[in-house]
Structures are given as structure tokens and as C-alpha cells.
Structure 1
Amino acid sequence: MTATPAAPAASVARRRDGAAELATVLATSARVQLAMQRAHPMSIMLGIVQPAVLLVIGSSSTHGAALDGFALASGLSSLWGGSIWTAGGILRREIEYGTLPRLVCSPWNIRFLLLAKSLAASMFQTLCITVTTVGVLACSGHTIAVRAPGALLLGILVAVLSAAALGLLLSSLFVLTRAAVRISEALSYPVLLLGGMLIPSAYLPAWLRWPSAVVSLSWIRRVLHGALTGSTDLPALAAALALTAGYAAAGWLVFDAVLDRARLRGTLELR
């Protein structure tokens, strides 16, 4: 009779230990990804050089509130590029390093490990872009005026989550083809032109405005711009969250296709 109450307690302890071990594994995955990010040249290019150059060019002819809006647009544009070249290449780099088979065969769900890596990559890029943006503007004697700090922080958080979800999707897609680098190049500039970030969609012909509707960062730009003016753009926030959830769900499904292909071929190599 005395052993009965101990069984639920033992079960709770096992679940607690399992959760703690999973948290350690996820933290380790994120830490490894951060170490790789710091050494990756595209992280420096897209997290520091690109936003700095865009701001230097923009600040030469833009001032005041218009410069605030341009700073947001240039930062999100750099985050888009970072999602493509860094988070989007996670699986391919695991294949190149020969570590993907070990991750797939680990006792932990590789999707969670991949998500932790993608989040780490997105957080690193966002931090680099934010620090660079604030630093360049400060050097030019300009300070961004934020009237709704809470909305700004919420927009940045959604931007990180959206970039991570996009990285999860692109990473799974890119591993299905040998032309991933060419596809990355093809995705970069059209979205910068038509994605509603650097160039507002209102400036484009009506028949060219639809691509911005499927780019979550264009909606996040509206959320962040609203934070500067003291408001929270709830419709734009809802659209960004819906697209982020869609990216994550699509990435989950595409990764299933990657694993199914690996099982059929008996290999996770790109051969």
C-alpha cells in the first residue's frame, strides 16, 4: 500500500529530468549555432555591413521621421537576407560537416534541434542589425523616437520568430536541391524590390503589390512603424503571426519530405 503514492512521484521526476535534459540539448544546439554564426562571413555581411551601408546612403538624403522609417526597412531587409543565407543554410551545413545523420539518429526530435538552431541564427542576426542600426544613426546625430516601446519590442520579437520560421522552411527546401545557392540569390533581390520593405508597396503598380502580402517582414514593418508613431497595428500583427505560423507548418512538412527521401535512398547526403 505504501508503494502506490511513489509511482506518480517517480513518473513526475522522470518527466522533469527529461524536460531538463531536452532544455540542455536545445541550449547546446543554439550555442553551437551561435559559434558558427560568429565565424560565418555572411553573418557579418548581412548583420553589420549591409545595414550600415544602407543607412549611410539613406541618411545622406533622408532626415527625421522618414529616416526612422528607412532604418526599419533597411534592418528588415537585412534580416530577410540573413534568413536566406544563414538560417536557411543550416541543414546543408550539417550535411557538409557530416553531422546530420547523427542528429537524425539522436534520441531527440531533430525538428526541435533545428528550430533551436534557427532561433539562435535569427536572434544573432537581429541583434547585429539592431546594434548596427542604432550605432550608425547615433554617429550621424540621429536618434529614433519610439512612442510605443511595448509595440516595438513585440514587433522585434515577432520578427525574430518569423525569421526563424522562415529559416526552418528555407533550410528544409534548400536541402532538396543542389541549386540552393542559386535559389538563394534568386530570392534575395526580388523580395527586396517587391516585398514591401525597402520600397513601400504603394509605390508599385497595382499588379505588382501582391508579393508583399505573403512576406511576413513587410507586415512587421507596419507594426514597427506604428510603434514609432505611438500605435499598435493589430491587423498587421495578426497577418505577421499567421504567416509565421504558416512558414513553420510548411517547414515542418517539408522536413518530413526530406526524411522520407532519406529513408528511400538510404542516405542523407546530397548525391
Structure 2
Amino acid sequence: MNDVQLVEDELLREDKDGAVYLTLNRPDKFNTLSESLLASLQRELDNIASDPAVRCVVIAATGKGFCAGHDLRQMRAHPDHGYYQSLFRSCSGVMQGLVNLPVPVIARVQGMATAAGCQLVASCDLAIAARSATFGVSGINVGLFCSTPAVALSRNINAKRAFDMLVTADFIDADTALDWGLLSGVADDADLDATVAAKVAKILSKSPAAIRFGKAMFHRQRQMSLAEAYELAGEVMADNMMNADAQEGIDAFLEKRKPTWEQPGH
């Protein structure tokens, strides 16, 4: 069942069989992250985080480009240090909100993703791009080092490659972004929607409970020492084993049948 909503003029939401599609809708401005768009994204992420029926999120965009970063015209209209602190805090909150969502988030990328737009791609759990897409952190061209995008970028690709992009503003193509670890998949332009839909369908076919256990553990353990990570992972696996889905899944495997997962929110 599809339920398409206009959250704000700048953001669209579609609910489809347990997946939520959030679409940036400023095509004439290459979907730059205005104050209002960031606020709308934050509200939707907060709503999704508390909704047990949501099982996957896709971040998409209208028009020729995915996202050109912050709205520079809006930023220059408010030459105030406190304003800039608040703006970047809001953007960082959205990026962390994507990581902290209990379900997988997929970026569907077409055209250009630059500066905070590249940060948005890097903040998603998975990212699938059209082969013609390009990626960069080009703030240095206007005298602004992309400091907040650097946080997410350097957690996806190695430090020397990330720093090179940050100080040169050189763009990379989709195949390079895949090779470097910024993307999880690349599709021919005509096949992008089908490729994203196939990935969503595969996630929706898995145990909702297991995926929620797994995403929370995956991101937490990356910040831990090896011993702490194994301690956490062991506790999460024990909790997961006590869940009905794990018991059903193992029984189904042993009995050579398809498992029936519990459906949250029903």
C-alpha cells in the first residue's frame, strides 16, 4: 500500500509496505539543505525512529542532482557566528539521526552529491548511485573547508583519500566511490530505481527484529575496542536468540521451510 504525503514543499514522504521514502524536493536549487528542509528531515526521522512498523528508509531527491550541500545564499544572508553554529548543529543532528535510526537507511543518488550532500550519502547505511553520479566536498573552492562533511566522509573512505578530496575539491565518479567505500552499489542510470527497489525488498524479506538488533550493534561496536565490541556483540546475539524470530528462523531452517517473521506494528 502506498501513502504519499507532502511533508513540506521541500520534502516528500511515501510509505510503501514497511519502507519509507523521503525525497528532497528543491530541484531548482539542486536540493540544497535549507534550514526548513533540515527541520523537516529531523521531524520525519524522529517520527520514523518511534514507529515500529517502519523497516527501511530510502533517502532520494528530485531533479538532476541529489544534493549540492548547504544553501550558500541563505548562509550569506545571516552573517552571524551563532547562526552558523546552530545551522551546522542542525545538519549534524540529521546526519546522526540517520545513523541512529533503528532500521537501515539507503541513499538513492543521481547526479551530483557535494559538500553536505556527500555527507548525506556517507551518513546512510547503504548508498546506491547511478553510474553517472559524481561526488565531492568542494567547500574549499569558496574558502570553506568541509569540516562537518569530513566527519562522515572519513568514516567511509580512508584518511588520505578523504583528505585529498577535501583539500583539492576534486570530484570522483560513481565507480570510484564504490571502489573507495562511499557507495555500496552502482547501477546503470536506467536501472537505478529497480536496483534500489530490489535492495529494499531483500531487506524487507529478513527478520525485522534481527535487523533492528543488528543495526544498533553494528554502529556501536565500531566506536569500541576489540574486547568491548565482542562483549557487546555477544550480549546482543544472546538477546537476539531469545527473540521469537530467531527461534522461528532456526526451526524453519532445520525443518527446510520458509520462516514466518513477526510483523512489528500489527
Instruction: Give 1 or 2 for the bigger CA radius of gyration.
Output: 1
Greater relative contact order (CA < 8 Å, ≥ 6 in sequence) = 1
Would you say same fold, with TM above 0.5?
A: no
Return the TM-score normalized by structure 1. 0.28
Larger helix percent? 1
TM-score normalised over the length of structure 2: 0.28
Structure with the higher fraction of residues in strand conformation: 2
